[in-house]
């Protein structure tokens, strides 16, 4: 899945229970301790999580946190703690297999860098994980299998698994669940409040977004994807004031909860005021926009296209505690230009 280049915004310090939490985009200043003592002081234990594999109870704040999937790493870092183990980022992570926003947050916090767990096959190596001696594995938004869950819990490590389905936990829940697990629920609420404020501020600065219909498309040469309202990336566009185009719902074949594919002969049915898209390289975007298939989409003909380019940027569109501040200004800039192009027709 698609799981972003801008200057980092300033870090704002939120004083809650004596902890520093992330209010900017990449990291926060390192706390004087690992964070576990503060977690125990501000949290309420035991705490129980219900998930697809049953339930998990934490009797005390964990000190050594491992993460798996998308978003949990960012949430832990945003709460001022460096995990002992994190999944490799095959997409957007470069040669080091760690995304720039995570790398910068780890550097800001200091301490021992996390072990990078191999995620190239989207399979958790339990042996590799256990070698890091974690107190908990946070895998709220992941593809963690029953077999992997059983192996980790069988080794005595509690696991916070996806809530209702694999790769389906809402991104905000990943942050709140992580806060509860670490005994930093209030701090997690503050992180979320800051993120929501950033979105609200962007929407207020661009009232022209309100009510415009939008379609989020991804051209993969052989396959053309449309992302549905349930996708968290589309949710961000809605938070900014856009509405998912009726044509998106009409073209939904039901093959997935968050996307549908569209055949070339139906591309002319993607009727939206603005088209939002992505490409790993500018050349790929240019080729698509100049193609015969792209010419079928009305918004492309009017120039009402907002495009995010670059592997890191595309990865960052999927919202987390760290990616949203990283990519939001770029998204808003692109949307403003596309909205202006759409308005010029009216």
pLDDT digit string, tens, across residues 41-84: 457 899 999 999 999 999 999 999 999 999 999 999 999 999 99
The pLDDT-based confidence of 346 (bands split at 50, 70, 90) is low
Topology at the third CATH level for domain 206-345: Rossmann fold (3.40.50)
What is this structure's pTM? 0.86
Residue-wise burial string across 205-214, b where 16 or more C-beta atoms lie within 10 A, e elsewhere: ebeebeebbb
Cα 124 off chain centre by: 20
The CA-based diameter of the chain, rounded to the nearest angstrom, is: 63
pLDDT for 42 equals 52
- Cα 99 to Cα 122: distance, rounded to the nearest angstrom: 17
* Cβ neighbours of residue 68 closer than 8 Å, sequence gap 6 or more: 87, 117, 124, 129, 137, 138, 139, 142, 144
Topology at the third CATH level for domain 36-196: Rossmann fold (3.40.50)
Task: Output phi, psi for 279, to 5 deg.
Answer: -155, 145
- Cα 323 to Cα 113: distance, rounded to the nearest angstrom: 20
Residue from 158, 136, 129 nearest 65 by CA = 136
| Ranges in the chain annotated CATH 3.40.50.1980 | 36-196, 206-345
Residues forming a β-bridge with 48: 57
Q: What is the average pLDDT score of the chain?
A: 88
């Amino acid at each position: 899945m698609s799981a972003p280049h801008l200057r980092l915004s300033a870090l704002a310090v939120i004083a809650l229970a004596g902890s520093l939490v992330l209010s900017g985009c990449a990291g926060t200043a390192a706390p004087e301790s690992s964070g576990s003592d503060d977690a125990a002081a501000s949290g309420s234990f035991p705490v129980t999580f219900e998930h697809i594999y049953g339930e998990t109870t934490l009797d005390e704040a964990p000190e050594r946190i491992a993460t798996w999937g998308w978003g949990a790493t960012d949430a832990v870092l945003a709460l001022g703690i460096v995990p002992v183990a994190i999944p490799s980022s095959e997409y957007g992570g470069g040669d080091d297999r760690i995304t720039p926003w995570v790398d910068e947050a780890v550097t800001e916090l200091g301490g021992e860098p996390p072990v990078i767990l191999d995620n190239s096959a989207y399979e958790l190596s339990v042996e590799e994980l256990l070698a890091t001696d974690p107190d908990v594995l946070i895998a709220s938004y992941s593809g963690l299998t029953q077999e992997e869950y059983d192996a980790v819990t069988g080794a005595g490590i509690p696991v916070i698994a996806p809530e209702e389905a694999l790769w389906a936990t809402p991104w905000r829940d990943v942050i709140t669940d992580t806060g509860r697990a670490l005994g930093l629920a209030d701090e997690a609420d503050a992180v979320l409040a800051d993120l929501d404020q950033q979105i609200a501020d962007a929407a207020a600065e661009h009232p022209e977004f309100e009510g415009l219909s939008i379609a989020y498309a991804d051209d993969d040469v052989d396959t053309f994807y449309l992302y549905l309202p349930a996708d968290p990336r589309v949710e961000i566009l809605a938070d900014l004031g856009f509405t998912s185009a009726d044509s998106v719902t009409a073209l939904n074949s039901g093959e997935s909860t968050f996307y549908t594919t569209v055949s070339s002969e139906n591309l002319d049915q993607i009727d939206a005021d603005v088209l939002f898209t992505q490409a790993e390289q500018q050349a790929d975007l240019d080729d698509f926009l100049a193609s015969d298939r792209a010419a079928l989409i009305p918004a492309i003909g009017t120039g009402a296209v907002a495009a995010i380019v670059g592997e890191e940027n595309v990865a960052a569109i999927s919202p987390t505690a760290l990616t949203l501040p990283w990519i939001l200004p770029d998204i808003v800039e692109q949307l403003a230009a596309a909205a202006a192009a759409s308005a010029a027709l009216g």
